[in-house]
Structure 1
């Protein structure tokens, strides 16, 4: 079956801040060409590395974000490099880049110039703060963007400092936003024939991830802050993360008849094993209003539940919860995800051959299942300049002598 973006070409000039955008477009079938400097994309030097051996061709970060792509080397700081890029633009549908604002303009490769070569071109820029506004010229790594987006403010324990999530969430939010925005512009192009410029701010993309917290003021006149392993419920806080023998589970206690059935049975299970305090035995959860429950109630409930869940495994608790309609789920680690039967049933995990490493590596697969235009992850991430000959010679028609001169001049 055809893919959604068959015969569509993308020139990917991003670094770690935007590589996910090209990965998504590539998974949808686009021919994504990652354009690297002769020394290689900076993301190649980002760990972790395969078998803990640092090398630009062993970066697991690079592997994860560059499947379904081809790689060419091209020095855009040279006149010849810019001319070659323009040739590629004429037959491309997207250009995505994550340079500093207006860097492409300074190179003579801004949208106004490229649109004259290809009026149908969609050009997407991914920058820390967008290309307009008082912060537009500021640099920003993930830790800066996590702070300025508000995400760090709501991450961590309430009595401790704000935290940054270990992986670069702002980059991934921006990459997914860029892919969605680019597709919207592409849809407009398919109707009108006219391309356009897409301006993605990483701060703005990450701020959207705080959207649910913004409702709290309207709902409870409360500014939601860091909750840690507890959650704000009305004017009190309820523990939702509980320890068990091999990790943790998430458990929500709710009021009303629907939730009470499973919770009543859970308390009975605790009682049968001699782990239910007297005050909790026979408690009527159907009459519980969590929005008005006191902090003392949640503290006593937490103490009782922690004592019990700590004696069970994640699997024991989860299987019981499924059978008895309790709002409980295990907290998955990496191995749990790899072995998860639901993800396996949907063919989420795929094995890609890395012949250069003489092995196959398991990768995350399709992010969605489309019946008519399937999303596919078919090719490992490219080696540096792996497709130079294929594209420069095979598609642009450059001779071996011309390629040798370009390489000698550090253009490719």
Structure 2
């Protein structure tokens, strides 16, 4: 068996010994990926057709089927895959046993489904859903991730990452002043990531609290955790979202790719893309003004009145135009290097290609190489933080049902 085919399950890290079942799609995928990387045994319970993430494009060039999705290659890393069909009596019984072996379960099924789960009735569990499960397994932490929570008049409304952005008010703040709201961050499910990270935090704290209680001789009980995408979005938006408007409830205009606090502040065109510039402090502005003057001969920009950020805000269009005369004459990298020399906060707006060949990320060894029996060799992002203890575990994403026999066999 080649190295790419081997999938050892040696665990290390602060959460070694904890088992997490992932019954979710995108809403829990990133959080459970972090659980797994930090040592937990994360098992993705997939239907026979596979997790919906396995169908998400882009697909690896020249590949098709359940192993082809690059999203799955990323989100599935370091997890195990078990295929079960709860409509089958044998699989339903196996799923109940698997849930009982877990410390944490993450579920994104609709509230009514989580409350009933008809396959439980077939196992003599009364069809009580989550309530019946946690009564049967009181040590278990059950995390529900739904669009609007498990209670309330909108609990059964269907949703998505985009609807989540709209419902929490964040979408109303993204876009240009005279245009429609825009979805943030393109294709990626940032709000789903936010929800799964909060699920991660909540479930880790629940396991820690349970373990502390058990160690002190008290009942070692889990928790039920209820996450709403809408509420997570509200929590994440202190600067641009609803909390900003609570004082007078008056929506502010969308700001586009500039911040109307002052100028320059935002994204400015270079000859090969864009750079981000922020010049709030007087020393930053004076350096920008001097650079523009040297390049264009603009005398007005040196007027001391523009040192005041309020004045620059009132003259925002003119100041932005002056700054663009500078930025459009250089590449992103040239602006970055010269800006650093002049002590101006300027940075390139990196593309994926820029990042993949970024000398800093290369120097710190952030990118990692993985091998997969279907996809071959590919590069993935490294860990979001490092520790002296080398907590992070790295394994390729599992193939569909790769660990079914192994995991279910251990329960018998």
User: Same fold by TM (over 0.5)?
Assistant: yes
- Give the corresponding residue for 1:385: 401
**Superposed displacement of residue 97, structure 1:** 1.0
**Runs (5+) with no aligned partner, structure 2:** 1-10, 121-127, 214-219
Offset, 1:207: 2.1
1:271 to 293, 296, 303: 293
Partner SS, residue 240 of structure 1: strand
Alignment of 1:189-338 (within 5 A): 189-192=210-213, 193-213=220-240, 214=242, 216-217=244-245, 223-233=251-261, 240-254=266-280, 259-273=281-295, 275-280=296-301, 282-284=302-304, 288-291=307-310, 293=312, 295=314, 297-338=315-356
CA spacing shift, 1:225–1:238, aligned 2, 3 Å? farther
- Residues 278, 22 of structure 1: alpha-carbon distance in 2 compared, 3 angstrom cutoff: same
1:360-412: CA deviations, max 9, x gaps?
11112212212236123x1111111011121223x134xxxxxxxxxxxxxxx
Native 8 Å contact 1:12 1:32 kept in 2: yes
Q: How does 1:111-190 map to 2 (within 5 A)?
A: 111-165=130-184, 166=186, 167-190=188-211
Q: Using a 3 Å threshold, how does the CA distance of structure 1 residues 389 and 45 change in structure 2: closer, same or farther?
A: same
Aligned pairs for 1:391-410 within 5 A = 391-393=407-409, 395-397=410-412
- CA offsets per residue over residues 79-127 of structure 1, 9 Å max, x none? 3222111211222111111111131332237333222343211111111
- Secondary structure at 1:38's aligned position in 2? coil
**Partners in 2 of 1:276 and 1:218 — Cα distance?**
45
TM-score (norm 1): 0.86
Normalised to the residue count of structure 2, the TM-score between the two structures is: 0.86
Secondary structure of the structure 1 residue equivalent to 2:299: coil
Give the 3-state SS of the residue equivalent to 2:167 in structure 1.
helix
1:222-275 superposed Cα distances (whole Å, 9 cap, x missing partner)? 633311022122xx7865211001110111232xxxx333432333333333x1
Structure 1, unaligned stretches of length 5 or more?
Answer: 398-412
RMSD: 2.3
